[in-house]
Amino acid sequence: MIDFRYHLVSLISVFLALAVGIALGAGPLKEAIGDTLTGQVDQLRAEKDALRAELDVTALDLQHAQASLASVAPALLDGVLAERRVAIVLVDEVPAEVLEQVVARLAEAGASVTATVTVTEAWTDPERRSFRQSLAGTLVTYLDPAPAQDAGTGTELAEALAQGLTTAVPENPDALSENAAIVLDLLGGDAGLITLAGDVTVPADAVVVLSGPAGSLEATTAAQDVAAEDLAEPTDEEAALLAARIDAGVQIATAVQARSTGAVVAGGALTDPSVVLALRQDESASIQVTTVEDLGTLAGQVAVPLALAARISGTVGHYGASPEATSAMPPRVVLPPVERVAVVVDPATVTTDAPTAQPEG
């Protein structure tokens, strides 16, 4: 039976243990514990300083590489797209400064921009599905060639956009056809599936499609560094909307490649899901459409006109730093002077306008 004496002995034992611990901690073990902790702190501080120094060296190397590329970019791009007319299609949010840099690099390559088109959320809004189906039925009457009857609404809209940007008057290859102008007006205007930065009067030879994410490399890296548990899982509705946007980007990229001399799809750091990755993983699209990643960097922006020139010459590639890329940078291909030939057509045989540009590769 537990009595008062048992409790007294227990208390004395506890206090004795505490006293011994304090005595040891303040005496023989004090220096050993202190030295161990001090050594660990010094080691961690040294490792931190080494990592910071390594990061500073890497950042300095990157700055030097960027400066070197910026200095040679004009000579590297000079004349590779001489006199080519390029339409730009934005299928995702792209920062204004990135778009400006792409336009500037195309200009350095000798190209001119005929149109800047933004594909709006209405293109894939599930609540407007019936409207898009009705609109597509009207659009196909202006298309030549028309999509297959079982092509689907998304393919029909993509084909309409492609022909609207690239179809010339047969007798005047420097003028956009009447049907093409009507198609662009139907896609924009009250329908609101696209917005145009200005009037489109000249047909494009080639097309650059810009997709997201296309922000700066620093912003993209910061976003990727967020812990997975801190990211909210997308709802089924959000995932479906994202999948629809990516499908639309793939359809548009495929259509503009088929109706132009060449197309390039460029996005930011390669992510899953994304239009660029979807194209690379598509067995059919990957051998037709060229892609570029890291659009938020100077290297990615310089790669766009180089990749477009290579695609027009017949070379399909996927460029960037990721393992999915076929090469870091496209080859430098200087295209021959462009030839646009007017076609003499018997008016009695013409029912609709047809695109005169044929893919060169």
Q: Are residues 248 and 339 in the same domain?
A: yes
Q: Are residues 50 and 110 in the same domain?
A: no
Q: Which domain holds residue 306?
A: 80-349
Q: Are residues 46 and 175 in the same domain?
A: no
Res. 356: pLDDT tops 80: no
Instruction: Calculate ∠ Cα 183-184-188, nearest 5°.
Output: 120
Q: Are residues 101 and 50 in the same domain?
A: no
- CA 65, CA 122: separation in Å to the nearest integer? 41
Q: What is the mean pLDDT of the chain?
A: 84
Q: Are residues 130 and 25 in the same domain?
A: no
Distances (CA, A) of 78 to 53, 88, 297, 309, 322: 38, 20, 20, 11, 27
Residue with more model confidence, 28 or 297: 297
Q: Is residue 356 domain-resident?
A: no
Span 237-286, pLDDT tens digits: 888 889 999 999 999 999 999 999 999 999 998 988 899 999 999 999 99
Contacts of 202 (CB under 8 A, 6+ apart): 85, 114, 174, 175, 176
Q: Are residues 106 and 37 in the same domain?
A: no
Nearest to 134 by CA among 178, 193, 91: 193
What is the domain count for the chain?
2
Q: Are residues 264 and 126 in the same domain?
A: yes
Q: Is residue 360 domain-resident?
A: no
Predicted confidence at residue 51, as pLDDT, reads 78
Q: Are residues 89 and 28 in the same domain?
A: no
Beta strand ranges found along 133-241 (DSSP E): 168-169, 172-176, 194-196, 206-210
- CA 165, CA 52: separation in Å to the nearest integer? 50
Predicted confidence at residue 13, as pLDDT, reads 72
Span 183-197, pLDDT tens digits: 999 999 999 999 999
Q: Are residues 84 and 181 in the same domain?
A: yes
Q: Is residue 233 domain-resident?
A: yes
Q: Are residues 54 and 99 in the same domain?
A: no
The DSSP code for 269 is S
Q: Is residue 102 domain-resident?
A: yes
Residue with more model confidence, 248 or 72: 248
Predicted confidence at residue 48, as pLDDT, reads 78
Contacts of 221 (CB under 8 A, 6+ apart): 269
Q: Are residues 165 and 269 in the same domain?
A: yes
